[in-house]
Amino acid sequence: MRRVALSIILCFLSALAIPQSPGSDAALLAKTRSLYDAPFTRNLASFDCAVRFDWQKHFAEFVRTVPPTAQPTIERLQGVRHRVFVDRSGATVSAQTKAPDFEGDRSATLLEPALTAMITQGLNAWLPFSTNVILPVGPTKYSFQTLGSGYKLVMNGTNVAATILLDADLKVTSGVVQLPQDLRFTTEFETGPDGYLLKSVETGSTAESAVGGNATFAYTYQAVDGIQLPSEVIVSPATAKPFHLALTDCKVVKFAIVKVGPPPAPR
């Protein structure tokens, strides 16, 4: 009786994770890719935006009333304007006005590069989803397994090893990555005019010895020249208050689409 019960359990577990055939794997991957709004896989080459950040409001999140002694630091920090340039390789932040002399102001000296890091991290966390590299690319080997609540996608390749879970609508819900770096993540998506848009991603380490906690990145969107780009990025580090970043005055650069037609008929 024990063996019979064990057999029933094993059959049940096997039914919950049904591997797909190679042909159906390719078809399912193509369908999954088509559901996501990944502008860098279309004709978006790059974009750049002004970054607006309210230091006064950020300070106020730590204390109810900002002390008068902090006002000079806030004013110095607020005087620096930033733009961020983003392409497939990552985000690059530049100061648009000469940074004031922070000499003697240790807080400003530390906080200005911290803001630059938050801008970079916030957009770099969005980039894998805007390029669709969260899904298998190139020669990476992959397979889908059907689960009761959706799918499990296993990937292995050169410097790539990961397992991703998707729901029944093929939205990525979570994943564990061993290569290229140790990472676990959970995601939320919303439906935009061109497909699924990343709403938030929470990341952390899988290592038991890891210190700290998870970092969370949340996004809202704006249409710029027909492309959905982040309009607000909220970066919530594990050990600090959230950074609320607004992206304005965005400009996009697109690849030219060349249509090749039939050769002209001979005269």
**Structure-model confidence comparison of residues 207 and 27, the more confident one:** 27
Task: Reply yes or no: is the peptide bond before residue 180 cis, omega within 30 of 0.
Answer: yes
Tell me whether residue 63 is in a domain: yes
- Interval 153-191: pLDDT, tens: 999 988 889 999 999 999 999 999 998 888 999 999 999
Q: How many domains would you assign to the chain?
A: 1
**What is the distance between the alpha carbons of residues 125 and 162, in angstroms, rounded to a whole number?**
17
Two tokens at 103? Answer: 């000499």
Alpha-carbon distance of 183 to 164, in angstroms, equals: 12
Q: What's the rounded mean pLDDT across residues 116-133? A: 96
Nearest to 136 by CA among 151, 120, 122: 151
**CA–CA separation, 9 and 15 (whole Å):** 10
Residue 39 inside a domain? The answer is yes
Section 129-137 average pLDDT: 93
d(CA 40, CA 94): 22
Say if CB 157 and CB 140 are below 8 A apart: yes
Give the Cα-Cα-Cα angle 130, 91, 221 (nearest 5 degrees): 45
| Domain assignment of residue 264, yes or no | no
Is residue 4 over pLDDT 60?
Answer: no
- pLDDT at residue 108, rounded to an integer: 82
In a domain, 262, yes or no: no
- Rounded Cα distance between 100 and 76, Å, is 6
Residue 167 inside a domain? The answer is yes
Tell me if 249 is assigned to some domain. Answer: yes
Q: Is residue 12, in this structure, part of any structural domain at all?
A: no
Domain residues for 165? Answer: 18-254
Task: Determine, yes or no, domain membership for 175.
Answer: yes
